[in-house]
Amino acid sequence: MVPTSYYLVLSAILFGLGVVAFVSKRNIFIIFMSIELMLNAVNLAFVTFSRSLGQLQGQVFVFFVIVVAAAEAAVGLAIVILIHRNRGTLNVERVDSLKD
Amino acid sequence: MPALSYLWIIPLLPLVGAAANGIFGARWPKNVVTGVALSSTTLAFLAALEVVREFMELAPYQIPWTKSYFTWISAGGFRADFALQVDQLTVIMLLVVTGVGWLIHIYSSGYMHDDPGYRRFFSYLNLFMFFMLVLILAANYLLMFVGWEGVGLCSYLLIGFFFTKQSATNAGNKAFWVNRIGDFGFILGVLLIFRTFGTLDFASVLPRAAAMAADPAGQIGTLTAIALLLFVGAAGKSAQLPLYVWLPDAMEGPTPVSALIHAATMVTAGVYMVVRSHAIFLNAPVAMQVVGVVGCLTALFAATIGLVQTDIKKVLAYSTVSQLGYMFLACGVGAFSAGIFHLMTHAFFKGLLFLAAGSVIHAVGGEQDMRKMGGLRKKIPVTFWTMFMATLAIAGAPGFSGYFSKDEILEAAQHASPVLWGLGVLTAGLTSFYMFRLLFLTFFGKERYDEHHVHVHESPKSMLAPLVVLAILSVCGGWMAAPQLWGGVNHFQHFLAPVLATASEPATAAAAETAPGGAEILQTLFGAPVIAGLLGFFLAWWMYCKSPETPKKWAASLSAPYKLLSGKYYVDELYAAVIVRPLVWISDKVLWHVVDEGAIDGAVNGIATVSRESGDRLRHVTSGNVRSYAAWIVAGALVFTSLLIWMVN
């Protein structure tokens, strides 16, 4: 049996990758995907703890996260499409009209 | 007892009048305003008469008749009701206030007829009646205080009635401020009463105060402290030393106001309050001495200033201060009923004097300086004769109302202290002098006004009728006490006796001894006060009728005392130097420039500066750049996570 810590390390690595991509990438689409990656890293941690502690709450919570992530993806993608349509770019550094 | 159960109607009527004229009066024609104002006071007077009629039928155990209408304040152990009370003392005050107030309202409708502020005037005057009636009908100290403050407010409003005149607004402010000092003493006294007795109802405080052991002579116990604090309030409202300074200035108000508020009713509220609280005062010998001495000194002090005043209303104002001093002298020597008796007769003759003075001023076209009058006797006979009656009354001519009340006071003072009596008699002489001086300067001698410009005319009937009624009262108002002269009952004192049952009346004890014979009656009639009054009269006659050059010569040869008197002892200047200017200086230099501008403005502006500066710095965080937001979120999450880990470990 694979020890619990392996899963947790994998989850941490996935989350760290997500964070790095979230901060460093300029393409809004990649940023969006890095958020999904972080969410799934968290889901993995939830399931791991659920299993090791023998409690179901963690798995139930994962369902909620998936549902919210799906909704967020739907809305987020719509926004991405609209930004692309209006500005012809996906570079977040050029989406800065709030500054004015 | 229908009327007695609906006591609240009496104060409510003038309040309705005030509200109606104050709110809707602007759209009403003048005669409707007059109708509302006069009918509300007339009805209040009639209601008061009905209440008195029913009161007379009450059995002694039903007195004082107290009626509680609702609980006004209830907080913890404190409780104050909106409760009204009628006893013999209230009856007298009620009749004086509604009766004289009603007459002065009628007079005002003539006097103020052409004033643009006619509606405002009657609204204030009715409001004053409301508060004054609350003051005298109240059954506890707190409700009395409401009336007390209310009449002060109306006094302020009416003194400053001609608010475009700087001197009038100043006088109003002065009256208000000086009264605040007195009111502060009064409210402290009320608080101390509550602390001592746990209630403020007259019906429970006063019997318990009477039952308490008297404070030893020369010591200040609780009762003495209460009595002295209450007397501070009385001295403010009733213009006694050292707080009398506002009353002479109050003459800036219209003359009917001077008559009603600053002679007949409001200024006597202090006397009423002291008499109402006599049970406390009687057990506080130190306070009694203070009251008596202050009253006596005020009487003398104000009378001397009155000797040299040239403004007809100023003479009467100082005379009022002086007569109020007599009333406190009476209270101080324990002759409370004599004090109230003088209060009543004073309301008649001083109200009349002011109204007649108003009629004179009206006749000579607004002039108030007596040096520019003279010889008016034949031109305005009704005013002259009524004013003559009032002068005889205040000078204490035997048979007139003032004679009986003043004589009673001086007799009581004689039993208490020969010094007070001597000063009182001296004051009686001075009173007679300055009053006849006023009469001679105004009505006798040469015409000193400009005959081409001034068309002297008698006042309208609405002004003369109250003069005549008050003249009759000034003559007959004291006859209730007359039987005392031939050993009978002083009906006034007898009437008040149940209220003052706890008070030992020195005058009663003296009078009850023997029935005097004819010679003794004569002796009483022409006692020292009357002789002093006659001397004052002859001196005034000699100086202002016989040889009118004397006053100038005397003023020249006695220039130092003359200046001192005409400068009113420079009390105003003294107060300005000792109190007002330092206060203004501290307010300006310390409170304004240091405390207000430095501390308070500094704190407010400091907070504003800090938030503006920090906002200025933090503004740059919201760059509008999505990636920098992302970095902030990550940084925040990192900080938060490390904080969490640090705390768990």
**For B632, nearest residue in chain A (alpha carbons):** A23
Check A92 against B631: CB less than 8 A apart.
Answer: no
Q: Who's near B619: CB < 8 A, 6+ residues apart?
A: none
Measured between CB atoms, which of B623, B626, B634 is closest to A92? B626
With a cut of 0.90, is the ipTM above it? Answer: no
Cβ atoms B241, B332 nearer than 8 A: no
Q: What is the pLDDT of residue B18?
A: 93
CA distances from B554 to A32, B435, B533, B538 (A): 110, 19, 21, 16
Q: Is B273 helix (H, G, I), strand (E, B) or coil?
A: helix
Task: Answer yes or no: is pLDDT of B316 > 90.
Answer: yes
Chain A: nearest CA to B628, how far in angstroms? 8
Q: Which residues of B touch A26 (CB under 8 A)?
A: 627
Q: What is the pLDDT of residue B510?
A: 45
* Structure confidence by residue, pLDDT tens digits, B153-164: 999 999 999 999
What is the 8-class DSSP label of residue B215?
A: P
Q: What is the pLDDT of residue B78?
A: 86
Q: What is the pLDDT of residue B517?
A: 62
Q: Is B209 helix (H, G, I), strand (E, B) or coil?
A: helix
Chain A: nearest CA to B609, how far in angstroms? 25
Instruction: Give the integer Cα–Cα distance in Å for B361 and B110.
Output: 13
Instruction: Give the integer Cα–Cα distance in Å for A50 and A44.
Output: 10
Instruction: Give the integer Cα–Cα distance in Å for B14 and B123.
Output: 9
What is the arithmetic mean of pLDDT over B219-223?
85
- For an interface test with B, give the residue of A33, A42, A98 to mutate (most B CBs within 10 A): A98
Measured between CB atoms, which of B623, B627, B634 is closest to A99? B623
Lookup: tokens for B252: 């800036």
Q: What is the pLDDT of residue B520?
A: 66
Lookup: tokens for B78: 């404190």
Confidence of residue B5 (pLDDT cuts 50, 70, 90): confident
Where helices occur in B112-221 by DSSP H, the ranges are 118-137, 141-159, 166-197, 202-211
Check A23 against B625: CB less than 8 A apart.
Answer: no
Query: What DSSP element (H or E) covers B217?
Result: none
Q: Which residues of B touch A96 (CB under 8 A)?
A: 623-626
Q: What is the pLDDT of residue A43?
A: 95
User: At how many degrees (to 10) do helices B336-363 and B312-332 cross?
Assistant: 180
User: At how many degrees (to 10) do helices B528-541 and B418-443 cross?
Assistant: 30
Task: Answer yes or no: is pLDDT of B471 > 70.
Answer: yes
Q: Mean pLDDT score of chain B, rounded to an integer? A: 88
Chain A: nearest CA to B620, how far in angstroms? 10
Q: What is the pLDDT of residue B190?
A: 94
Check A96 against B631: CB less than 8 A apart.
Answer: no
* Structure confidence by residue, pLDDT tens digits, B523-570: 666 778 888 888 889 888 888 887 777 777 787 788 888 888 888 888
**For A94, nearest residue in chain B (alpha carbons):** B625
Instruction: Give the integer Cα–Cα distance in Å for B483 and B594.
Output: 68
Residue B232: name the closest of B298, B287, B284 by CA.
B287
More confident call, B113 vs B324: B324
Q: What is the pLDDT of residue B26?
A: 84
Residue B337: name the closest of B559, B210, B503 by CA.
B503
Q: Is B321 helix (H, G, I), strand (E, B) or coil?
A: helix
Lookup: tokens for B454: 């001034």
Q: Is B47 helix (H, G, I), strand (E, B) or coil?
A: helix
What is the arithmetic mean of pLDDT over A28-40?
91
Measured between CB atoms, which of B624, B627, B634 is closest to A19? B634
- For an interface test with A, give the residue of B623, B625, B626, B634 to mutate (most A CBs within 10 A): B626
- For an interface test with A, give the residue of B620, B627, B632, B641 to mutate (most A CBs within 10 A): B627
Percent of chain B exceeding pLDDT 90 equals 51
Task: Answer yes or no: is pLDDT of B641 > 80.
Answer: yes
Lookup: tokens for A49: 């703890």
Residue B91: name the closest of B320, B334, B344, B295 by CA.
B344
Cβ atoms B423, B314 nearer than 8 A: no
* Structure confidence by residue, pLDDT tens digits, B56-107: 888 888 888 888 888 998 888 888 889 999 999 999 999 999 999 999 999 9
Lookup: tokens for B311: 């403004």
Lookup: tokens for A51: 């299993």
Confidence of residue B318 (pLDDT cuts 50, 70, 90): very high
Phi/psi at B262 (5° precision)? -100, 20
Q: What is the pLDDT of residue A98?
A: 65
Q: Which residues of B touch A (CB under 8 A)?
A: 623-627, 630-631, 634
A96 CB near a chain B CB, below 8 Å?
A: yes
DSSP string, B336-396: HHHHHHHHHHHHHHHHHHHHHHHHHHHHTTS--BGGG----TTTSHHHHHHHHHHHHHHHT
* Structure confidence by residue, pLDDT tens digits, B426-437: 999 999 999 999
Task: Answer yes or no: is pLDDT of B513 > 50.
Answer: no
Cβ atoms B430, B303 nearer than 8 A: yes
Lookup: tokens for B395: 């000078």
Lookup: tokens for B375: 């010889």
- For an interface test with B, give the residue of A22, A35, A94 to mutate (most B CBs within 10 A): A22
Nearest-5° angle of CA B488, CA B492, CA B497?
95
* Structure confidence by residue, pLDDT tens digits, B235-271: 999 999 889 999 999 998 899 999 999 888 999 999 9
Percent of chain A exceeding pLDDT 90 equals 66
Q: Is B99 helix (H, G, I), strand (E, B) or coil?
A: helix
A26 CB near a chain B CB, below 8 Å?
A: yes
More confident call, B641 vs B453: B641
What is the 8-class DSSP label of residue B165?
A: S
Phi/psi at B380 (5° precision)? -125, 75
Check A23 against B634: CB less than 8 A apart.
Answer: yes
What is the arithmetic mean of pLDDT over A74-98?
86
CA dihedral B362, B367, B368, B373 (to 10 degrees): -90
Instruction: Give the integer Cα–Cα distance in Å for B360 and B313.
Output: 11
**For B629, nearest residue in chain A (alpha carbons):** A23
Q: What is the pLDDT of residue B518?
A: 65
Q: What is the pLDDT of residue B415?
A: 85
Peptide bond into B64 cis (omega under 30): yes
Distance from the Cα of residue A23 to its chain's centroid: 13
Tabulate helix, strand, coil % of chain B (nearest 5). 75, 5, 20
What is the 8-class DSSP label of residue B621?
A: G
Q: Please state the pTM of the whole predicted model.
A: 0.79
Instruction: Give the integer Cα–Cα distance in Å for B37 and B120.
Output: 11
Q: What is the pLDDT of residue A99?
A: 63
